[in-house]
Structure 1
């Protein structure tokens, strides 16, 4: 097997590691590309391509995360991970106990960890790397990595997200939610939402976004019904998709450009959380991105013309 073939075989694993560490599709892809460049330029022949490449992508991702956290301190509004479409995504950890580590809720929980703790947790708990491999990847002793793993696991367990276990039930409930949304059915939406449901938006100051988190089934149902009834006036459509391993959707403008990406957290037969990413910098990997400001202005004019 050639070097290129070895790398391509391991590319899904490398991306999966980088994305969980970084919470960013674009940064994860850049980390994988940098790993390839180092692999191609290296004159050494490692005993294990997997160990060498995993170590390289982990170290690159940790360095990127440290600088990214500085930028996030001045981020406008709530910060959410870049949405990843997973209905056709082959994840190496798909069958692992922590397959839910791809969820937006889990990625936000990982944000509480230091870059070192995050890397150790991802390698150990998601991909079941041995401590000798982890120690080599993060440049710490095995004993230190064991301590880091225990500390990271404790932090994660304290806030570990819970989701509806039955995939078909989740999809069916999400389907009813999007049907009610299209129909502007406030009562139908309200019945599907938990009493303390929250709606969170991430526009990063570069797209229209909520002034604050909206909480409560009645408030969220009324806001969503009003918002979508306005957007339908300018032919915005909802495309249900699996996003970060959970039910979600892509909203598109009349030219099929991406306007926003939603994820739904579902538990006990109700929607507990709705997250919306409209920051165009986080949507480019999903396809051409709509001008959300222009869509918003056009929708406002259309609403005034019918009232």
Structure 2
């Protein structure tokens, strides 16, 4: 196998590592591209292409993450990861675990870690790298990496998201939710929401925005029942999809342009959290983006 073939075979894994470190599709793709350039320019052949390339993409991602943290502190409104519709790296034996580590809840929890803690945790706890490879990737001793993992695991375990174990049950509940959503069925929506459900939207100050957070089943059900049906009447589409490994949907205008991505956290047979990403800069990797302001104006005119 030549160098190009080796890289292409490992590319899905490299992207998956970078995305979990950066929570950004575009930045993860850039990190993988930079890894390719360094791989192409490196002399000789390492004993393990996987270890070498994983170390390179991790170091690049750590550097990006350090600068990104400042930008996120200045972000307008709630900050959520860029939605990911499918993880290109799939290990059938660990698919559920990998999906949970991809969820928005898990990625937001990773934001609490330092860049080094985050890198060590992702490499060791998510992808199962040995400590020698982890230490090489982050430029620390194995003993230091073990300490970093312990600290990171403590932070993650304190707030680790839990989801329904049965994927089919989650998908069935999500299907009922989206049917009720399109029909504006307040009672149907309320029945599927946890009493203390909360909904939040990431618009980055660039779009019409819901309240920073809407709390409680009654409030969330009524807001959704008012907002969505007029949008459907003007040709909008609610397209159920898996978003970041969890039930969700892509919201499109009548021309198929992306308006919004929505992810659900489901536990104990109820929807606990609804996160929506409407910032157009975080949706461009999914295709052409809709003019949100124009859609809102038209939907307002279609409202009863």
Task: State whether TM-score is above 0.5.
Answer: yes
Q: Match for residue 93 of structure 2?
A: 95
Superposed CA offset, 1:237-288 (max 9, x none): 1000001110000000010000000000001100000000000111011111
Find the counterpart in structure 1 of residue 125 from structure 2: 125
Range moving further from structure 2, 189-198 or 90-99: 90-99
- Give every structure 1 segment of 4 or more consecutive aligned residues whose post-TM-superposition deviation is greater than 3 Å: 92-95
* 1:3 equivalenced with 2:3 (yes/no): yes
Write out aligned runs for 1:72-87 (5 A): 72-86=72-86
1:292-307 alignment runs, 5 A limit: 292-303=292-303, 307=304
**Contact kept in structure 2, 1:120 and 1:134, CA below 8 Å:** yes
Match status 1:205 vs 2:205: yes
* Alpha-carbon shift at residue 93 of structure 1 (Å): 4.9
CA distance in 2, matches of 1:107, 1:34: 23
Q: Which residue of 2 aligns with 1:170?
A: 170
Question: How many angstroms apart in 1 are the aligned matches of 2:23 and 2:292?
Answer: 23
Deviation at 1:298, TM superposition (A): 1.8
Query: In 2, Cα distance between the equivalents of 1:179 and 1:98?
Result: 28
Contact 2:195–2:217 at 8 Å: present in 1 too?
yes
What is the aligned partner in structure 2 of residue 47 from structure 1? 47
The corresponding residue for 2:225 is 225
- TM-score w.r.t. the length of structure 2 is 0.97
Query: What is the aligned-residue RMSD (CA, Å)?
Result: 1.1
User: What SS does structure 2 have at the residue aligned with 1:128?
Assistant: coil
| Equivalent position SS for 2:93 | coil
In 2: Cα distance, 1:227 partner to 1:112 partner: 33
How much has 1:98 moved relative to structure 2? 3.1
Structure 1, unmatched stretches of 5+, are: none
**In structure 2, distance between residues paired with 1:56 and 1:92:** 21
Gaps of 5+ in 2: none
Secondary structure of 2:205's match? coil
